[in-house]
Amino acid sequence: MQTGGCADRPVALGRSALGWTAPGGGRKLPGMTERVPQDRAGTAGTCRADVLRANVLRAEVLILGGGMVGLSLALALGGAGLAVVLVDRNDPAEVVAAPYDGRASAIAYGSRRVLDGLGAWAGMAGAAEPILDIRVSDGDAPLFLHYDHRALGEEPLGHIVENRAIRQALHARLAEVAAIDLRAPARLADIAFAPGGVTATLGDGARIRASLVVAADGRDSALRERAGIPVTRWRYKQTGIVCTMGHARPHRGVAHERFLPAGPFAVLPMTDNPDGPAQGHRSSIVWTEDERLAPAMMALDDDAFSAELARRFGPYYGEVRVLGGRWSYPLSLLHADRYVAPRLALVGDAAHAIHPIAGQGLNLGIRGVAALAEVLVEAARLGLDIGGAEALARYERWRRFDAMALVAVTDGLNRLFSNAIPPVRLIRDLGLAGVNLAAPAKRFFMRHAMGMVGDLPRLMKGERL
């Protein structure tokens, strides 16, 4: 048996000759030349790991983390023709299965436009319930804030979509974009940064060379840590309990947020139960609870848990019942001191993770995706280095202030509302009522919640990249 062909040797690379796709791994990109190593072509018994080691897959952007943000970025860049390798540690079949994530997300109007521009919205539209009204109340106080979508026109304020449906639609679209090479489940074993690019080695020995690596690997981002980027972070001592609630009366597209002393309790309108009429109307619950009490609530049987839901929301929904599983998430804030480092950009929760009080974490991530994709695609079209300092600085300048503002606002709102101190309560209730009466302020906040304020990237304006 010939073994000499297994030696690890460098492969000549060029920006347009994207190299060779590893066997059993990704798809071949259009225009890619397949470099057939001698040992692969002619040697019997050549081991796969050795073949993988001996070859380098060339991409323009390597994305680590295929959550909703990483998937969206891959679609934005791949759809514009950039060669992308997307790596995630989880099996795609698992992340779209029910137990993985019980959350539904409030997708703001601007984010819907982005998902539409990526060709992914159509795949989730059937599972998306329009938000027509938002009602914000403070416990049992009579003063409240009411947003009605008709104050701005015909468009709903946003949609509620189960995360599972979002992931399904993003993965389905991903399979149609030839420029994206998905490696999942896969592990990043090593990454080397050099002035001209990065070289990553995966657990199976595959090597990828790219001009830029994007960390979309969530709030505990290993890449962010590897780059030594400091963060500001704290725990909220609150737990987000999430489940789906079936209810007898229709929700009429109304999202409720009620502030209780332990934190906000949100009831978000979902599409009706596809499985039948019993409690056929559904809403997604995000129940913020004191972290010391949450385990006891999670341990209740379905009857007692459903009674707790009813106790917090009175008779508005008629008879209510928890449907399916329950999930709990420790809540925390995180903000990275920098969103970029040489040859590295942070996006999504890897850059900023916020309290779910306003349902904006993913929306913020999608906004970052739209901005980063625009910067990179423009740089590529101008023949500039897409991983160069200039492009990265533009991305950071564009996103930092907006994201920091939302981090601060959500943190402030949580502090203001998650207590029962009488003078604080009086001030915030007057504030709610004041905004409710001041039509221009109300319209501004509505446009903000819809993601339509500020220096919007093209995808958020409904334009092509």
> Closest CB to ligand FAD among 380 and 460?
460
Q: Provide the Cα torsion 265, 269, 270, 274; round to 10°.
A: 110
Q: Which two tokens stand for residue 76?
A: 């934005």
* Dist CA 355 CA 235 (whole Å): 10
> Closest CB to ligand FAD among 40 and 183?
183
> Closest CB to ligand FAD among 46 and 410?
410
**Least gap, CB of 452 to ligand FAD (angstroms):** 15
> Closest CB to ligand FAD among 385 and 396?
396
The residue ranges of DSSP E strands in 132-187, in sequence order, are 133-138, 144-148, 158-162, 180-183
**Residue 333 burial (C-beta neighbours within 10 Å; 0-12, 13-18, 19+):** buried
Chain positions contacting ligand FAD, by CB under 6 A: 64-70, 87-90, 103, 105-106, 188, 216-218, 222, 240, 242, 286, 329, 348-349, 356, 359-363, 365
Closest CA to 170 of 113, 111, 123: 123
> Closest CB to ligand FAD among 89 and 237?
89
What is the separation, in whole angstroms, between the first and last Cα of the chain? 52
> Closest CB to ligand FAD among 21 and 360?
360
Output the CA–CA distances (angstroms, integers) from residue 184 to 187, 230, 295, 422, 451, in the order listed. Answer: 8, 28, 33, 52, 31
Q: Which two tokens stand for residue 385?
A: 């280095």
**Least gap, CB of 106 to ligand FAD (angstroms):** 4
**Least gap, CB of 87 to ligand FAD (angstroms):** 5
What residues contact 10, with CB distance under 8 A and at least 6 apart? 56
**Least gap, CB of 107 to ligand FAD (angstroms):** 7
> Closest CB to ligand FAD among 111 and 279?
111
Q: Provide the Cα torsion 39, 45, 50, 55; round to 10°.
A: 30
> Closest CB to ligand FAD among 294 and 465?
294
* Dist CA 413 CA 405 (whole Å): 12
* Dist CA 132 CA 197 (whole Å): 47
Owner of token pair 């500020």: 454
* Dist CA 453 CA 438 (whole Å): 18
**Least gap, CB of 435 to ligand FAD (angstroms):** 21
**DSSP letters for 118-134:** TT-HHHHGGG-EEE-EE
Output the CA–CA distances (angstroms, integers) from residue 152 to 160, 260, 450, 451, in the order listed. Answer: 19, 29, 11, 13
> Closest CB to ligand FAD among 78 and 81?
78
**Least gap, CB of 295 to ligand FAD (angstroms):** 16
**Least gap, CB of 52 to ligand FAD (angstroms):** 17
* Dist CA 378 CA 444 (whole Å): 31
> Closest CB to ligand FAD among 54 and 118?
118
* Dist CA 382 CA 375 (whole Å): 11
**Least gap, CB of 239 to ligand FAD (angstroms):** 9
**Least gap, CB of 364 to ligand FAD (angstroms):** 7
Give the H or E element holding residue 419.
none
> Closest CB to ligand FAD among 54 and 182?
182
**Least gap, CB of 130 to ligand FAD (angstroms):** 14
**Least gap, CB of 77 to ligand FAD (angstroms):** 15
> Closest CB to ligand FAD among 18 and 362?
362
Strands 129-131 and 133-138: unpaired
Q: SS3 of 404, please?
A: helix
* Dist CA 465 CA 117 (whole Å): 8
**Least gap, CB of 349 to ligand FAD (angstroms):** 4
